Structure 1
Amino acid sequence: MRAKTRGLSSTTYIASVHSWQRSADGSCQLTVWNPTIMLVSTFELLFKATTPANPPLVRVPGAARGILQGYFLTIANTSTTTLTFLLTFNATTPALNLAQTVQATDVTGGNSFGDLTPTADPNRFTLSVRVPGRDTALVILQPDVTLANLPDSVEFRGFVEIEITTRTFQGQTFDVLLTPEHRGTFLPNNFSFVPPPLPVANNNGRDFDQLIVALPTATGSALFRLPSPVRDLKPLIDNTNPIPFPGRPLPSLPEVLPGPVPPGPVPPIAGAGTDPELRATLARLQDGLSLMARTIDSLAGESAGGDSFVSPEP
């Protein structure tokens, strides 16, 4: 979409991610980038006993073993373009507790640890992942078992969304392979993460088992065709009231000029000769209009030569 203006416009356009661009016909447009979000899968983080430790179940050997389960998401960028993905983790009952979780990202073969980024919504947390073309990243989110004060029962459930934040050509899509998994470790009864003084002797008889479950995706396939952000225009302010003239009403002007104004002196305005304040104000307005005219002529010359400009990002 393009907004075309002559003179002053009554509507102002703005967005959080935008850029100005001038076209060949002299009109200006403000490009607003709206990413398209897609659902990926559910997730469940666990650090708890697999069954309640009440008396009837205690008599069943191994029934109350603990489990540590995390969410693993493999992102394969099949294009030749380096892409930045924004993952959003949604959890409501309960919301994710960043103090009890740890996040790691692996693109080059080594884990990079960090935390999710909170948003204005307390139930939504984001993570930005940059994946080079033809490369693969692994995102991990799990309870932080290195914490000495981690509760014996940690459980978070929710769903994950993904979007591309890299701005490319409008309408361009990218084929991305997403593989979400739950990976878990079953822990022996009464297991402690405190390193024992004699690891070999104390680990004798401990029973560890691994669990890997591929999660269904929202598309039913590992292939996601993610679009690049869409360009759009959105109004911020509808300035229907005219800007007041300092101390005096602004003379009314016609909606459409009758035609080209022939060169020559500007007819005098009544009262300008006897009112020093009005005369000074009109002189400043004349200087401003002259500067605008020179700027428009300069831009028109650049446009005729095929030049364009994009303003810096905010």
Structure 2
Amino acid sequence: MEISTFELLVKRIAPPPAPPTVARRVVQGYFLTISNLEDKEFLYTLDFHISLPTPPDPDRTLAGNAVVLVDVAGANQPLTLSPAGATVNTTRFSTSFRLGAKQTASLQLLPDLTPALLADPNPDLEVRGFVRLRLPAVFSNAGRPFPIFRRVPQSDSPVKVLLNPEIRGTFLPNNFPGGDGDFDQINYPLPLASGKSLNEIAPEPGGPIFIPTERIPQLVDQLPLRDRPTIDFAELEEEDRAAALVEVISQIEPSAANLQNVSDLLSKLDIPIAMELIRQ
């Protein structure tokens, strides 16, 4: 669901040729208070969709310019803003966090205030866009060996949340980072796209995750030996045997010799399936 717009700023309130003495710098961030009204923990994902200028500008993107924090009832905890390899052409950034039953969190998207940015007398960081909240499907095999690569919905019904987005800004003294630290602050609420604070998020449906067959050996090689999957075919349920066979057969090079070998193996297992190569 769409939540609101957002805008990040680190810039003078009046650009040149206005004199610096009357054009303080403002640092502005996006804050979202979210309450999980349900009786279980959920994993939430926030998507930040940004607008890009033409041509792209490194001061108009979240890539390398922003940090994300979450605070439930203690110190701020950093979150990951993905994709990790974002560039000036990236238009969507995401972060995920868990929120327990009946808990409330403060989620903050803030400018990354590096020493160089704070020392710049005329910074020009300005990023705006809109925010979406999702309830992503999560990995699960439901206690069965197959299918392995699958996501399932976190809930069978929409999940209730309370939302309150706002903008908060701090005006830096003209001589900052020197001087006596005389700061001024502002904050104002943002209108919610739904028009109400109480909202319901529909869970994403999930489904199978398709991995190219050429990637599977590489993924297995990266596993420690103790963690590599071993399946006793004889102990599998009939449904799981079928799923295992489909997984294995899908990785076979379709040559006449290979298919004949598979047919011979299936015959020994009393599985009435024969395979042959059909040329188009």
CA distance in 1, matches of 2:175, 2:79: 27
**1:233-284 CA distances to partner (integer Å, 9 max, x unpaired)?**
89999x9xxx66349xx9xxxxxxxxxxxxxxxxxxxxxxxxxxxxxx58x7
| 2:162 corresponds to 1:184 | no
- C-alpha RMSD over aligned residues: 3.4
Q: Tell me, what secondary structure is at the counterpart of 1:217?
A: coil
Distance 1:182 1:235, change over 3 A: closer
Distance 1:128 1:234, change over 3 A: closer
Given residue 111 of structure 1, which amino acid in structure 2 is its aligned partner?
N
Distance 1:149 1:232, change over 3 A: closer
Match of 1:288 in 2: 266
Given residue 195 of structure 2, which amino acid in structure 1 is its aligned partner?
G
Structure 1 residue 289 displacement after superposition: 2.9
CA contact (8 A) 2:135 2:154 kept: no
What 5-or-longer segments of structure 1 have no aligned partner? 1-37, 197-201, 251-280, 295-314
| 2:158 corresponds to 1:173 | yes
What 5-or-longer segments of structure 2 have no aligned partner? 139-151, 213-249, 273-280
Match of 1:106 in 2: 71
Given residue 117 of structure 1, which amino acid in structure 2 is its aligned partner?
S
Distance 1:130 1:207, change over 3 A: same
Distance 1:66 1:236, change over 3 A: closer
CA distance in 2, matches of 1:149, 1:142: 13
Distance 1:109 1:125, change over 3 A: same
CA distance in 2, matches of 1:286, 1:102: 58
| 2:33 corresponds to 1:92 | no
Q: Tell me, what secondary structure is at the counterpart of 2:193?
A: coil
Structure 1 residue 86 displacement after superposition: 0.9
Q: Of 118, 122, 133, which residue of structure 1 is paired with 2:101?
A: 133
Given residue 25 of structure 2, which amino acid in structure 1 is its aligned partner?
G
Structure 1 residue 104 displacement after superposition: 1.3
Larger radius of gyration: 1
Structure 1 residue 290 displacement after superposition: 4.3
**Pairs within 5 Å for 1:108-257:** 108-118=73-83, 122-149=90-117, 151=120, 152-165=123-136, 166=138, 167-168=152-153, 171-188=156-173, 190-193=174-177, 196=178, 202-203=179-180, 207-230=182-205, 245-246=256-257
Match of 2:276 in 1: none
CA contact (8 A) 2:48 2:92 kept: yes
Q: Of 63, 72, 77, which residue of structure 1 is paired with 2:31?
A: 72
Structure 1 residue 288 displacement after superposition: 1.2
**1:113-160 CA distances to partner (integer Å, 9 max, x unpaired)?**
244111787111110111011101111111122432455121111111
Structure 1 residue 40 displacement after superposition: 1.2
Q: Structure 1 residue runs of 4+, over 6 Å off?
A: 233-237
Alignment TM-score, normalising by the size of structure 2? 0.63
**1:155-210 CA distances to partner (integer Å, 9 max, x unpaired)?**
1111111100254476411101111110011223x2322xx4xxxxx41xx64221
Higher relative contact order (CA 8 A, sep 6+): 1
CA contact (8 A) 1:171 1:227 kept: no
**Identity over aligned pairs, percent:** 33
Q: Tell me, what secondary structure is at the counterpart of 2:160?
A: strand
CA distance in 2, matches of 1:101, 1:233: 33
CA distance in 1, matches of 2:207, 2:67: 37
Match of 1:83 in 2: 42
CA contact (8 A) 1:170 1:230 kept: no
Distance 1:286 1:101, change over 3 A: closer
Distance 1:293 1:44, change over 3 A: same
CA distance in 1, matches of 2:198, 2:113: 33
Given residue 80 of structure 1, which amino acid in structure 2 is its aligned partner?
D
